[in-house]
Amino acid sequence: MTRREMREHCFKMLFGVVFYPPEETKDQAEQYFESPQEEDTTEDGAVEIIHQVDMGETDRAFLIDRVEGMAGKIPELDGKLDVVAHGWKTRRMGRVELTILRQALYEMAYDSEVPDKVAINEAVELAKRFGGRDSAAFVNGVLAKIVKQE
């Protein structure tokens, strides 16, 4: 499984777990793997698989650990985001954009294998895919401010 695919699964899992109490994070992350395959029809009539969880135990364990790690750092990550996102405190942000920002910031701070530029680029791509019309620019702008601060 590619890093991009792993990142997308991680985003979906993190998005879901924040709707539940922190003590349920691991259970919610594990339930993600039980969700059925989902398809959608594109504008040109082609069928596209939008959700399919088909991975080995190693990848599953990595994702669960990653999501638990991110979920445990949410107050810290949100604090950093609140400092740079003037006029857009985390409580006002859309859940998609906030989840993408949390994931990218976590990668930038805690994953030495992912360069900041890659984390930002991948976050922008997630925002284009899952966010609204202005999501990519918003995510890019917030993360660029964080890099400038460091």
| 1-23 confidence digits (pLDDT tens) | 789 989 999 999 899 888 888 88
Q: Which residue has the higher pLDDT, 52 or 142?
A: 142
Which helix H or strand E contains 41, and what residues bound it? strand 38-41
For residue 120, what are the CA distances in angstroms to 24, 28, 48, 105, 126? 29, 26, 26, 9, 10
CA distances from 126 to 7, 118, 120, 150 (A): 9, 12, 10, 23
Report the predicted TM-score, pTM, of the whole model to 2 decimal places.
Answer: 0.86
| CB burial of residue 31 (10 Å; 0-12, 13-18, 19+) | middle
